[in-house]
Amino acid sequence: MNNIIDTLNQRISDRIRLERESRGWSLNDLAQRAGVSRAMIHKIERGESSPTATLLARLSGAFGISMSTLIARAEAPSGRLLRYADQPLWRDPQSHYLRRHISPQNDFPLDLVQVELPAGSDVHMPASAYAFTRQLIWLQQGELVFLEGDVRHEMHQGDCLELGPPNDCRFINESDALCVYLVVLLNKNSISIS
pLDDT digits (tens, 9 = 90+) for 15-45: 899 889 989 999 999 999 999 999 999 999 9
pLDDT of residue 5: 57
pLDDT of residue 191: 41
Q: Is the pLDDT of residue 110 over 90?
A: no
Q: Is the pLDDT of residue 192 over 60?
A: no
Indicate the SS3 state at residue 56.
Answer: helix
Strands 169-172 and 122-125: antiparallel
In the chain, the amino acid numbered 92 is D
Average pLDDT, the chain: 87
pTM above 0.85, yes or no: no
H or E segment at 3?
helix 2-22
Q: What is the pLDDT of residues 116-153, one digit of tens each?
A: 999 999 999 999 888 878 899 999 999 999 999 999 99
Q: Is the pLDDT of residue 6 over 80?
A: no
* Contacting residues for 100 by C-beta, under 8 A, at least 6 apart: 87, 88, 89, 113, 114, 115, 116
What are the φ and ψ backbone dihedral angles of 127, each rounded to 5 degrees?
-55, -30
pLDDT bucket at 189, cuts 50 / 70 / 90? low
